[in-house]
Chain A
């Protein structure tokens, strides 16, 4: 059996649903235009992938489940129910683990939310992005602000643990526009908020508009102001700023995403999904066609397996861990790598502390407030 499949510990399970009704203008991920038949066929092979893994994995303990996309809310509640039942059948699932599903307002309604919940979904993340219609237009989102509010009210009623995604630093966005969006979110007091600044990635519609000069990115200064405004307001409203872009009410941190930031193992299913078992990373073919062809031949649809060197593991551990406001626990690090952080990064830590980018106490090292804003400056120093 392939060594990369040896998961010694329980793992987070990620399932990718690569379909969208319409591609957002800022999205550079592989996605496929949604057609019901395609989705049905895909689900058949996704189940097959689950079955194949159940045969080869020694340890099948699942710690969290995250159904991401694409647009998972294109799946009917029956399909979600079926999918979760299959996972339960082929993997070891405890009763009360976190099961998250991503969703878009336009493919969600009250009936679906209730049924998803009955099927076992206990956390929903919704891509609201903005409450201003012009901004939603720029982003190429299908929903409008009325729909956004309607969906939040439904979630509010039925789901205790839900997340709202907001995007900021949009071309043309004013400081006040962003304040409006943040305060609008706070009116509903969701258990979790994610906040991302808009990245104009190559190959996206936005990038084309940017190149032709039709849109002008916001200044670094405004981006800084917006981000730090949000941190202040959300903290005052009782949110725990626990990761660079994530805020949670007490006990509502995303357990699945913490798997990534703690650099713990995860298994990824579906086209382009990544997995990591603690020493190897692998990723599936991003083409749905290739993915299906492989599974038809009873092969795992893996495109590549990367055997990470110890230096790479250590570097990535630092880069991911420092994203958390709690930083990296020194003992945990030493237990994992049989070396202390200091023995590897003494000078780096000294210099970053001097620049007020990094701080430490007896237990952990972590980013300062300045370091949060200049994270890349810190991260690249930890590359070995």
Chain B
């Protein structure tokens, strides 16, 4: 197809504003998918994505409409995956910016607009969900004006009811520029996503920027110069369909016997090994994990199962990293690195659901940079590996710039929340009459411990968060140890801000008292820094636990009750003589309000 009849576009939106539903309607309207094949939200492949209503992996579909070839590139909707979003955007010339007619502009909307502008995309605003009683398109139009987008260009839709889908498609053709015809140049194909298939190896999702790619071509990946031979090229319409060649301007997939997604990362450039391009496409970076956590099987016999499962997940997820680690309390497990909290939760859930492994997860942490008295430089992500307090000269931790969007009535409580999380005020702006964007500089470690949940609860769900890394800065941090029955439990150690250690220690022991069931003996729980006890509670011994009434009609019921108890016991971890449930290890994460 000549470039004049190609349009590459993506859909960007804040979470839940209806991106996937709009994509579904477009596919239906253009008969790319018949109603019968239609599962709601076709582009979200994984069950988990559909359940959470978010898109995790970017997808691409070719739509034939009128005389045009429209390539729809779906993008992930969460801050953890913003690098993947930016690469998806780089594969397109235009973007549909979907905004919920009732919710208006949110933090992620803004973040996406900036990404789109950075990538020079033509933005078509789409005000969605106009069927809602609470819809207020005029309010959204005013917001658009504020941020410099022409509100008259906005299209009003209800993706749910299929309103104005044709208008959206016409705008894609009329307003989004055709890709440049660079077919004559040496091949440069942008990898904007890759998935692993156990039969074919890595399937790379590519946008051909320059040149063309065909079966049997010898290619190389420009990030690491690894070479492969192309087995298959094709398009998604929406299922994988083989073609002979993909040329500049087109979007499709390439299969080339690549065995590991880490050799075909998002953002990398594919070129021909004989007629190589001089420079790769700009902007490639290897995404680095930001959040670390220990994952341990509740049953130590499942260690190999967990290892296999992590390896399988990694096949599809180059940003997941892990290495074995040992905990005195939890036995053998893995220290895993994630892009963010959501990424971490998704991996945990997939391990439990798809691989049926009971997991114990330690509180997430960031990478700390430590300068020791002996002038060593350490990078430590596991609190258990922290040096003794007196050996530490300087500790540095990562900081982010956090942007929170919210209705103005919540300013007070959100500012307070940011401040108690060591936030440093940068800036506040009105997005429109009622909505405010707050910017704070904050330690990443505060964001990953329950900040998001607190934000939601303090704003009754209306506040939204986006953040970007600023870099490392010095902080006054200490390691807070927890002792259960006089023994330190390494998996419960956390790194905390020194001034907050006392209070957090108290909160934590109190919380653990609620979560650790009574044992048959008294169990003291203590919080300590360097063997100095900051807080202590006792869990009294259990005295009585017996089914008092049990006759002929009760046996089945009571046996089931006992079986449930036994199941619960299995999910606990023996630390010394004490049984500790999984929730206790997560307790370090959450903070109670008003304490």
Chain A residues near B (Cβ < 8 Å): 12, 14, 195-197, 199, 220-221, 223-224, 227, 244-245, 257, 259-260, 266, 268, 272-276, 281, 283, 306, 312, 315-316, 319-320, 323, 355, 372-377, 379-380, 383
Contacts and interface: CB of A to CB of B under 8 A. Distances in A.
Contact of A273 (B548, B553, B559, B569): B553
B160 interface: no
Contacts of A12: 552
A78 to B, nearest CB: 27
Interface of B is mostly: loop
6 tightest A-B contacts by CB?
A375-B546, A224-B543, A224-B544, A274-B553, A380-B566, A260-B552
B552 A374 contact: no
Contacts of A323: 550
A257 B553 contact: no
B556 A374 contact: no
A373 B543 contact: yes
17 contacts: A14-B553, A196-B549, A199-B548, A199-B549, A220-B518, A260-B550, A268-B553, A272-B553, A274-B553, A316-B555, A320-B550, A372-B546, A374-B544, A374-B545, A375-B545, A380-B565, A383-B562
A266 B551 CA distance: 11
A227 B543 CA distance: 11
B542 interface: yes
The number of chain B residues touching the other chain, given as a range, is 20 to 34
B547 interface: yes
B547 A376 contact: yes
A379 B547 CA distance: 10
Contact of B546 (A244, A260, A283, A320): A244
Contacts of A377: 520, 545
Contact of B555 (A199, A227, A281): A281
A159 to B, nearest CB: 21
Interface string B557-578: 0110011011001000000000
Contacts of A315: 559
Contacts of A383: 559, 562-563, 566
A274 B553 CA distance: 5
A377 B579 CA distance: 13
A14 B552 contact: yes
Given A376-B562, A380-B566, A380-B569, A220 B551 contact: no
Contacts of A312: 559
A223 B546 CA distance: 11
Q: For A259, A268, A273, A377, which residue has the most chain B Cβ atoms within 10 angstroms?
A: A377
Interface centre among B518, B542, B549 (most CB of A within 10 A): B549
B556 A281 contact: yes
Q: Which of A12, A195, A319 has the most CB of B within 10 A?
A: A319
B154 to A, nearest CB: 49
Contact of A268 (B518, B544, B552): B552
A196 B556 CA distance: 19
B212 to A, nearest CB: 66
B91 to A, nearest CB: 54
Nearest to A312: B559
Given A224-B544, A306-B556, 10 more contacts: A12-B552, A221-B540, A224-B543, A257-B551, A259-B552, A260-B552, A260-B555, A274-B552, A373-B544, A376-B546
A259 B550 CA distance: 12
B552 A276 contact: yes
Interface string B472-502: 0000000000000000000000000000000
A356 to B, nearest CB: 9
Contacts of B563: 380, 383
Nearest to B549: A196
Nearest to A12: B552
Nearest to B521: A355
A319 B551 contact: no
A319 B558 contact: yes
